[in-house]
Every structure is written in C-alpha cells, then in structure tokens.
Amino acid sequence: MFEFSDRYVRHFGRSGRTDGIDSVSGESNSSKVVFSTSWFDVIAKSVGSDPEPFYHLEMPDYVSVVATTPTGEILLVRQYRPAADKYTIELPSGHVEAGESPEVAARRELLEETGYRAGSIEFLGCLVPDTGRLGNRLWAYAAVDAERVSEVREKGLALVSCTPNELKMHIAESRFDHALHIAVLGLCALRGRPPVSIFQSRNEPEIEI
C-alpha cells in the first residue's frame, strides 16, 4: 500500500488538509451565510481591508473512486448532468454524508452507482476542487478487484466498463471530460496504481510525494 512520505505528512498531514499551514494569519476577518439551499451555503467573507466581501460555496466533501475489476476493466458511470446539459461519463463519485468517513462514502458510492463492491480500497490523496469558489475537499480512492454483487442502485445512472486504452480514447475525444476526475486518474499514475498506463509506462518509477 502507498505510504505518504515524511515530507508530505509534515506539510499536509495524512488527511491532505492544509488548514492553517502556509496561510497568512489575520487575512479573514469574519464570515456569514448569506444564502442557503439543501445543496450548499453561500458564504460572504471579509478579507483584509477590502470593503467588498469574498463569496464562496460551502458544501459536503466529495469522494471519487477509480475502480478496477480482477480482469483489469475500469468501472465508470454514465448520467445526465443538468449543469453541463449533457450526458457524461465519470468515475463513481458522490458526497460524504454527515457522520461518514471518506472511505466509507467511497465504498458506498461505488456500490450504489455500479453494483460493485471493492476487494480492497486505497486512499490516493485529497484535492481542493476549486480554490477560488469552493470550500470543500475531494477525497480520492483506488478500489481493486471489484466484484459485482448487485444491479446499479442509483436511478438515472448506467454502468460503463472499459479497458485503459478505451478510457484513454474517451479522454482524448472529450467523452470523459470531468476535470476533477482526470486529476484523480493522475493521482493513480503518481502512486503507480491502476490504470497507471493511461499516463505513464509501467516501467517508470513511482514519484515520492
């Protein structure tokens, strides 16, 4: 299993969060919720001496899973995304629910969206989805030897399985164009985990972070 280097842990911790590290003390003066929905809160934050507030969204953290079967197929999902107004192909993903750990959320989302249960699951890293507008985190996992145990449980989703080369074509032809999920695949390459062949040769050494 991948182990974070001492240098990574010193700077970011094992969770990947950087709260309070390399930040400018006293920059944020106050913040308040100015609009709220069941999906997110809009936060107005006063920063320094700027008279205009800075706005960002607070919402639950995300999880995304790169899942592979014993035969090396990659599990994806196809669904309609209203914001993009199109059908997309993505990694199994979702929100971390209240009281739930990111790993438990990753296992749950994989099962709900694909009908597959992970043989084993590994933490890849924690990403900031949008440093300018979003206040949540994306927790990335790799699930190997996933076995099918049920049908897709989530309405409106269809399971898509493909080889690493087929996924590479999906990305090149913009059928798989979710920027965050391509970043998660990049973490797999850095860690030397399947489907590493999308980004690098299997003969290349892993990079210590």
The verdict on 55 and 65 lying in the same domain is no
Shared-domain flag, residues 105 and 72: yes
* 78 and 45 together in one domain: no
Q: What is the pLDDT of residues 123-157, one digit of tens each?
A: 999 999 999 999 999 999 999 999 999 999 999 99
Cα distance between residue 66 and residue 181, in whole Å = 9
Looking at the structure, do residues 41 and 72 belong to the same domain, yes or no? no
Give the pLDDT confidence score for residue 209 in this predicted structure.
Answer: 43
Same domain as 104, residue 79: yes
- We report the CATH number of the domain holding residue 140 as 3.90.79.10
Interatomic CA distance for residues 202 and 194, integer angstroms: 10
**Distance separating the N- and C-terminal Cα atoms of the chain:** 14
Q: Which residues of the chain have pLDDT under 70?
A: 1-28, 196-209
Residue 157 falls within a domain, yes or no? Answer: yes
Structural domain range at position 66:
61-198
For residues 177 and 126, state if they share a domain.
yes
* C-alpha to C-alpha distance for 207 and 197, rounded to whole angstroms: 15
The alpha-carbon radius of gyration of the chain (Å, integer) is: 19
Residue 10: its pLDDT value, please? 44
Co-location of 135 and 54 in the same domain: no
Q: What total of structural domains would you count in the chain?
A: 2
Shared-domain flag, residues 110 and 150:
yes
pLDDT tens digit sequence for 89-112: 999 999 999 999 999 999 999 999
Residue 20 lies in a domain: no
Q: Do 129 and 51 share a structural domain?
A: no
Residues 130 and 90 in one domain: yes
Contact yes or no for 86/80 (Cβ under 8 A)? yes
* Inside any domain, residue 9: no
| Same domain? 70 vs 171 | yes
Which class for 64: exposed (0-12), middle (13-18), buried (19 or more C-beta within 10 A)? buried
Whether 163 and 67 map to the same domain: the answer is yes
